[in-house]
Amino acid sequence: MPSASQPIATDMIHAHNDVRSRHARNDYEHLGEQLARRHVDIDKIRAKVADFGVAIPSWGVGTGGTRFARFPGTGEPRHVFDKLQDCAVVHQLGRATPRVSLHIPWDRCNDWSELRETASAHGLSFDAMNSNTFSDQKNQPLSYKFGSLSHVDPATRSQAIGHNLECIDIGLRLGSKALTVWIGDGSNFPGQQHFRRAFDHYIESSRAIHAHLPEDWKIFLEHKICEPAFYSTVIQDWGSSLMAAQAIGAKASCLVDLGHHAPNVNIEMIVARLIASGRLAGFHFNDSKYGDDDLDAGSIAPYRLFLIFNELVSAAHEGIAHFDPAYMLDQSHNVTDPIESLMTSAAQVQRSFTQALLVDRAVLDAAQDANDALAATQLLKQAFETDVTPILQVVRMEAGGAIEPVAAYRAAGYRASMAQQRPTVSAAGGGIV
């Protein structure tokens, strides 16, 4: 039977695994033999993969939307407790998503201790808090229509600072250790905004937030090239983000959302530069074809995701000081069941990490030092083309998850039962999230 802390009945998961475990073990053994020929110890890789986790955004379990419309799914979460329960399903079956990232005010509730206890009963904890000064809230005295932390009016800036401080307060009660700040500030017309002044205001405001951060907290600055401002944004790229982080203080670093760059930008290169500067905060994983499409991680450009992980694994291998990036998904699920997308995306991120672990760093170094472009690139391709599914399956199975999470989820009928328990609240409305 499902329970409050285990929304999918564990005997269902066992039954699902029972009929698949023999094949999974055989496949694992076979892959182990192949990797041994490449001098890779599969069990060591498996142990690292078992330790890997990526956070889920609370807003990811709701059906997303576009600027034009939102088509609600059935059994959608109605409030943050429902969202946590859906996150628990994702983690119960996939075993790769032990943390949840909240967005305020979307996840406001009356009892933060109850929320923390509920999360812990689900085996979940809280990742970075996200503030929201990109939309106006009910009864908010001053509007963010023309900006927030970088607004021309000091009173509006101060209101936006206050909101971020409240997010830190809530996060403290939940055991979070970071605040992620993405602002929608920018301009739609040439001349509308004084670029340098707006940036200075942003830095001054962010310093005030930084000054209130608890000792063991960090602030993550998220850059984005456009949207909702379509001519310029205040923190439009990693260069602005890095300048800002360096000016704000030691606890500030730069968060890379994969969908927030100009087309064809070399994101893995940006990652390498941020690692070198000691200011890589972490990631919001998603994929895109055109803009900030917020599609499922690796659904369009899995090689790019692998190349990003190649940089990350290389930095960890070299023991770069203070290298500890935070991993999170940030996607909008418009046409899929969000739980299925999140489980698949988490496994995709885990897959890219696993593939990057297969690269022989000494051989790559030697190829680079010998200017052997073909050998170097083939080495990466070989790792990327290795089907590491058996490693992911065994890791999940040993952690009590499902060998095939989506199949298990569908068999459990969770969505249908939520459709009964959670009647659709509203059908209409637009909005990106």
Q: How far apart are CA 214 and CA 174, in angstroms?
A: 14
Show the tokens assigned to 104: 């305020």
Give the helix ranges, DSSP H, for 95-153.
112-121
Options 45-53, 91-99, 283-291, 408-416: segment touching Mn ion (CB under 5 A): 283-291
| Alpha-carbon distances, residue 425 vs 202, 429, 432 (angstroms) | 37, 12, 18
Contacts of 269 (CB under 8 A, 6+ apart): none
**Residue written as token pair 């694994």:** 313
Dist CA 293 CA 188 (whole Å) = 20
Whether residue 13 contacts residue 95, with contact meaning beta carbons closer than 8 Å, is answered with: no
**Considering CB distances under 5 to 8 angstroms, the limit depending on partner class, which of Mn ion, ligand PSV, none binds residue 156?**
none
86 binds, among Mn ion, ligand PSV, none (CB under 5 to 8 A by kind): none
**Nearer to ligand PSV (CB atom), residue 218 or residue 224:** 224
Residue 328: CB minimum distance to ligand PSV, A: 9
Nearer CB in complex with Mn ion: 91/284:
284
Q: Name the residues that contact ligand PSV, by CB under 6 A.
A: 59, 130, 182, 222, 224, 257, 284, 292, 330, 433
- Residue 298: Cβ within 10 Å count: 22
- Please state, in angstroms and rounded to a whole number, the distance separating the CA atoms of residues 287 and 331: 8
Residue 251 Cβ vs ligand PSV, minimum distance, rounded to whole Å? 19
Q: How far is the CB of 363 from ligand PSV (least distance, A)?
A: 37
340 contact choice in ligand PSV, Mn ion, none (CB below 5 to 8 Å, kind-dependent): none
Kindly indicate which of the ranges 23-31, 134-142, 253-261, 388-396 contains the residues binding Mn ion, using the contact rule CB under 5 A: 253-261
Which option in Mn ion, ligand PSV, none does residue 233 bind, with CB closer than 5 to 8 A by kind?
none
Spatial neighbors of 12 by CB under 8 A, at least 6 apart, are 408, 411, 412
Considering the complex, state which of residue 281 and residue 383 has its C-beta at the smaller distance from ligand PSV. Answer: 281
CA gap 18, 73 in Å, rounded: 32
Q: What minimum distance in Å lies between the beta carbon of 255 and ligand PSV?
A: 8
Nearer to ligand PSV, 236 or 354 (CB): 236
Candidates 82-90, 109-117, 326-334, 376-384; binding stretch for Mn ion (CB under 5 A) = 326-334
What CA–CA distance (Å, rounded) separates 374 from 343? 35
Among the listed residues 86, 185, 257, 294, the single contact to Mn ion using CB under 5 A: 257
Lookup: tokens for 275: 């690692």
Contact between 230 and 260 (Cβ < 8 Å): no
We find the least distance from the C-beta atom of residue 383 to ligand PSV, in angstroms, to be 29
Structure token pair of residue 304: 């790019």
With contacts defined by CB under 5 A, name the span among 88-96, 322-330, 336-344, 353-361 that binds Mn ion.
322-330
Give me the least distance between CB of 294 and ligand PSV, in Å please: 7
Given Mn ion, ligand PSV, none, residue 311, with its beta carbon under 5 to 8 Å by kind, binds none
Strands 99-101, 326-329: pairing kind: unpaired
Q: Which does 130 bind (CB under 5 to 8 A by kind): Mn ion, ligand PSV, none?
A: ligand PSV
Q: How many CB atoms lie within 10 A of CB 371?
A: 8
The enclosing H or E element of 156 equals: helix 154-174
Between 226 and 320, name the residue whose CB sits nearer to Mn ion: 226
Residue 433: contacted member of Mn ion, ligand PSV, none (CB under 5 to 8 Å, by partner type) = ligand PSV
User: How many CB atoms are located within 10 Å of the residue 257 CB?
Assistant: 22
**Strands 56-57 vs 252-257: parallel, antiparallel or unpaired:** unpaired
Pick 24 or 328: Cβ nearer Mn ion: 328
Which of Mn ion, ligand PSV, none sits in contact with 293, Cβ below 5 to 8 A by type?
none
284 touches Mn ion by CB under 5 A: yes
Minimum Å distance from CB 222 to ligand PSV? Answer: 5
Contacting Mn ion within 203-232 (CB under 5 A):
none
Residue 330 binds to Mn ion (criterion: CB under 5 A): yes
CB of 217 within 8 A of CB of 180? no
Complex with Mn ion: residue 171 or 282, whichever CB lies closer: 282
3-class DSSP state of 188: coil
Strand partners, 253: 220
Nearer Cβ to ligand PSV (130/288): 130
Q: How far is the CB of 44 from ligand PSV (least distance, A)?
A: 34
With CA atoms as reference, report the closest residue to 159 among 143, 182, 173.
Answer: 143
Cα–Cα distance for residue pair 93/17, rounded to 1 Å? 11
> Minimum Å distance from CB 66 to Mn ion?
16
Binding site for Mn ion (CB under 5 A): 257, 284, 330
